[in-house]
Structure 1
Amino acid sequence: MLESYLTGLVVCGGIIVAIGAQNAYVLSQAIRREHHWWSAGLCMLSDIVLFSLGMFGVSAALMAMPEALEILRWLGVVFLGWLALQALVRASRGRAALETGEIAKRSLKGVLFTTLAVTLLNPQVYLDTLLLIPAVGAQQANATTFVAGASSASILWFGGLAWSGAALAPVLSRPLAWRIIDGVIGVMMAAIALQLAVGGH
């Protein structure tokens, strides 16, 4: 159970950090202390719902069609490898610093709407929650603890952004910091893809 939990924590933690638009928006709200806990909470809730739907929906389908497990596993390996390559390319090229100072003051409704947009209008979110996470989670001994680990990663990450965004902003807004983060993400995703390819059924 602990291994399943930790796998969910690491895999989903890496995925969440890799989704730039959502993180940048939550961090920008935290820096400006503008409904940032509402924004972070909505991101957490969306992740938990999507993780659960993706994991248990695919698990049910796998019971009816066991051969789909191998397909999911290799699709997961390919997708993880693609994420790793993307992150390493970003690390080598760098990315622009976060721009937060010129955004006009927004209402709570506007912040929540924008948070939903950057979360749900990103096709990668659905690839992650309906393909990648179930592909990894299906290999685990306990699906429930895997989802709990994934949910914990979301709560820790977005909670951390909301709480410490103002203090970390001078560091996180530097391109070098994002290069380091992307480099770590790339190595992590490549290692998980290799483990999934070698250790799967």
Structure 2
Amino acid sequence: MPTYLAGFTLGITLILAIGAQNTFVLKQGIKQQHVFLVCAICAFSDAILISFGVLGFGYLVKQFPLIETIARYAGMLFLIWYGLSSLHSSLTQRHVMNPEGNTSKGVWKTALFCLAFTWLNPHVYLDTVVLLGSISTQYDPHQWYFYAGALTASFVFFFSLGYGAKYLTPIFRHARSWQILEFIIGWVMLFLAISLVV
């Protein structure tokens, strides 16, 4: 159970960071347009990438143990950068949610937008394939629980964001709410960075 929770917690924390994908899901949720499709594409895409990271990366690490050490320190540096970027954003940026009118995009166009936000984002490969893949090796032989936790986090997060967005609309129309969220994410990322090498 602790291993499952570790995978779930790290998965949720990585996805929480504000980016193009989450903003797109949030907008679709606020506008209530193709919400299930968008959430499903994001969650299943994450599942594919996490599977590749945990299964493929785990096999490589067993053959070449040095990879795990390199990836751990690379992951630490990435999380430090991610955390500091979030803290900087919380102090300098104004993230205001402004849905683009009420015109509904077609289902295929929406799907293509969602796939682009997911698969053309270099951070998603670092988060799922490299970071989750490398950290999962620390839980061997119970890394399947870590894997299950990370998968669950993706599905819970995206569907909660998509369908819960309409309830958050009054809150996230204010820049201060985005700043607080970025601030929290920043410190969590820095804590995770330290935990990788301690």
TM-score between both structures, scaled by the size of structure 2: 0.94
Residue identity opposite 1:138 in structure 2? T
Partner of 2:196: 196
Rounded to whole Å, the distance in 1 between the matches of 2:94 and 2:149 is 29
Corresponding residue for 1:181?
A: 181
One-letter amino acid of the counterpart of residue 140, structure 1: Y
Measured on the aligned residues, the alpha-carbon RMSD in Å equals: 1.3
Residue 92 of structure 1 aligns with which residue?
A: 91
1:85 alignment partner AA: L
- Determine whether 1:154 maps to 2:138: no
Residues 147-173 of structure 1 deviation map (CA, whole Å, 9 limit, x = unaligned): 111111111111111221111112123
Distance 1:140 1:130 in 2: 16
How much has 1:86 moved relative to structure 2?
Answer: 0.9
User: Per the alignment, in what secondary structure is the counterpart of residue 170 of structure 2?
Assistant: helix
Give 1:161's aligned amino acid.
Answer: L
Report percent identity of matched pairs: 32
Q: What does residue range 46-195 of structure 1 map to in structure 2 within 5 Å? A: 46-102=45-101, 104-141=103-140, 142-195=142-195
Partner secondary structure for residue 172 of structure 1: coil
How much does 1:95 deviate? 2.7
Give, in whole Å, the separation in 1 of the partners of 2:112 and 2:45: 13
d(CA) in 2 for partners of 1:12 and 1:161?
14
**1:79·1:132 contact (CA, 8 Å) conserved in 2?**
no
CA apart distance, 1:134: 1.5
CA contact 2:43–2:158 (8 Å) conserved in 1: yes
Q: Which runs of 4+ in 1 moved over 3 A?
A: none
Give the Å deviation of 1:72. 1.2
